[in-house]
Amino acid sequence: MAVVARDQLYLTLPMPPGYPEEREMAQSIVAAYGPRKAAFDALVSLGPEKVTVIVTAPAGPRVAQIDWTAAGVATKTEGTPPPGFRAENVLADMVMTHWPKAALEKALGGRLEVWDYPDGRRRLVRGRELVVDIAPPVRDADGSTKRVLTHYDFNYSLTIVSRDPQ
C-alpha cells in the first residue's frame, strides 16, 4: 500500500504495520487545507500486527473505521468523512508522526530523508526541500500532547492533540 505526494510515491505502508508496542490514544485533530478547516476526533489503537483508527465528528457519531493489517487497509465509512479523507493518508500521517525513525526510513525507501531532533521535532526532506515538518510535542498540564504536522507537498497542516487512556 503506497501513499503519493505530487504524483510521486514516497511512503509505502508496511504490512503488517509493525508499530513497536501496543498503544491506545484518543486524538482531536484540526486540519487546515489552505483556507478550509476541518475538525475530527480519532480513537487510535496501535500495535505490531494491527492498527485501528475510528474517526468521529467532533464529539459526535462515527464517520469511518480504518483497519490496517498484514492483509492491507480496509475502510468502512458511515456518514460523511472529513473533506479530503483518504485512509492511506491518515495512516501515512500517523507513521510519519509516531513510528520509530528506522521503520519510517524503511517505509520511505530512500525517497525522503528523516531528520529527528533532540527536542522531538521531525522533518522529512527531499534534497534541500522540506516536505513535512512535525513540531516537537508540547505536553499540557492535563497530560495531553499537542503536535503540529505541516505537509508542504499537499499544502495542509494538522494540529493533533493526543491523550493516552487513564
Mean pLDDT of 51-56: 94
- C-alpha cell, 153: 507537498
- C-alpha cell, 108: 520511505
Residue 100 near residue 85, CB atoms below 8 Å: no
- C-alpha cell, 70: 498484514
- Sign of torsion, CA 85 40 153 155? positive
Q: How far apart are CA 24 and CA 47, in angstroms?
A: 9
| Of 3-12, 77-86, 114-123, 147-156, minimum mean pLDDT range | 3-12
Mean pLDDT of 119-136: 96
Residue 31 near residue 82, CB atoms below 8 Å: yes
pTM, two decimals, is: 0.87
Q: How far apart are CA 51 and CA 116, in angstroms?
A: 24
Mean pLDDT of 96-119: 95
What pLDDT does 154 receive? 85
* Domains along the chain with CATH numbers: 2-163 (2.50.20)
pLDDT confidence band for 93 (50 / 70 / 90): very high
143-166: per-residue pLDDT in tens? 899 999 999 988 889 999 999 876
The DSSP output letter for 103 is: H
Q: How far apart are CA 15 and CA 103, in angstroms?
A: 12
What pLDDT does 86 receive? 81
What pLDDT does 89 receive? 85
Mean of per-residue pLDDT scores for the chain: 90
56-90: per-residue pLDDT in tens? 988 788 889 999 999 999 999 887 776 667 888 88
Q: Of 24, 88, 78, 32, give the one whose Cα is nearest residue 55.
A: 78
Number of H helices, E strands in the chain: 2, 13
